[in-house]
Amino acid sequence: MKRHLKPLAAAACVLVLIAASSAQAVVTSSPFAAACFAARRGCRVTVDPFTLQVPPGQHLARFQIGLGTSTVYDFHTDRSNPPSGSYTPTMPRLGFAARCSASATARLSAQDTGDGAPVILAETTSIVCPVPEPGALAQSAGAVLALITGCVGRRLARGKAR
C-alpha cells in the first residue's frame, strides 16, 4: 500500500504546484495612482501612467478603471493582435468625470486571455474630490443668466421689429 502512496503523493505535489503557478498567472501592474481636481465644469480624476505586464503565453484582453462602484473607463484590445508582454496604455487627456465633494477609491482591473473575468490589480486609498469653488459656481450661474437674458432680449427685439 505504501508503494502506491509515494507516486500518488508526488503526483499530488505536482498538481498543487501547477495549480499554484497557474493561479499566479494573471496580469500585473506597475503602481497605480490617481487624483481628483476641480475643473471648469465639475470635478475630474486623472490617472498616472501605468504599465500592465501580461503573463507569458497570454494576451491582454481588456482593462477597466473604476471609481467607487462605477466603471469610468472600459478599454479593449485588438481582436486579432492583442498585446502580449508589457503594455502601457495612454490615458485620456481630459481625465474622467467625478462628483465634486465626494470621495471614492480608484481601482484598476484587467483581464488576459486566460482569465474568465477582470481581476483587480490595484486600488488607491480614498480620493477626496474638492468642493467646487464658490467663484466657479457664481461664474457658471452668471454665464447661464447671461445666456437667458440674451435669448429673452433677442426675442423681444425680434417682436419689436415685427
Partner 1 sequence: MRQLLAWLVLFLLLIAQSPPASAIYASPVQAGCYIAAANDCRVHVDPFTVYLASGTKLVTVRLILIQEGTGTQTTVYDWRPDLSSPAPSSGDTYSPSIPSQDLGVGCGKSFSLSLQGRDTGDSSDYNLGLTTAFTCPSTLP
Residues of the shown chain interacting with partner 1 in the complex, contacts defined by CB under 8 A: 41-42, 61-63, 65-83, 89-99, 104
Distance set, CA 7 to CA 12, 17, 87, 150 (Å): 8, 15, 42, 88
* Cβ atoms < 10 Å from Cβ of 114: 15
**Residue closer to partner 1 (CB basis): 26 or 104:** 104
- Contact assessment for residue 63 and residue 118, using Cβ atoms and an 8 Å cutoff: yes
**Residue closer to partner 1 (CB basis): 57 or 150:** 57
Phi/psi for 14 (5° steps) reads -60, -45
Closest approach, Cβ 158 to partner 1, in A, equals 30
Closest approach, Cβ 56 to partner 1, in A, equals 19
- Contact assessment for residue 28 and residue 85, using Cβ atoms and an 8 Å cutoff: no
Closest approach, Cβ 29 to partner 1, in A, equals 16
Closest approach, Cβ 63 to partner 1, in A, equals 8
Closest approach, Cβ 46 to partner 1, in A, equals 12
**Residue closer to partner 1 (CB basis): 55 or 95:** 95
- Contact assessment for residue 74 and residue 118, using Cβ atoms and an 8 Å cutoff: no
**Residue closer to partner 1 (CB basis): 8 or 51:** 51
**Residue closer to partner 1 (CB basis): 2 or 93:** 93
User: Which DSSP symbol is given to 54?
Assistant: P
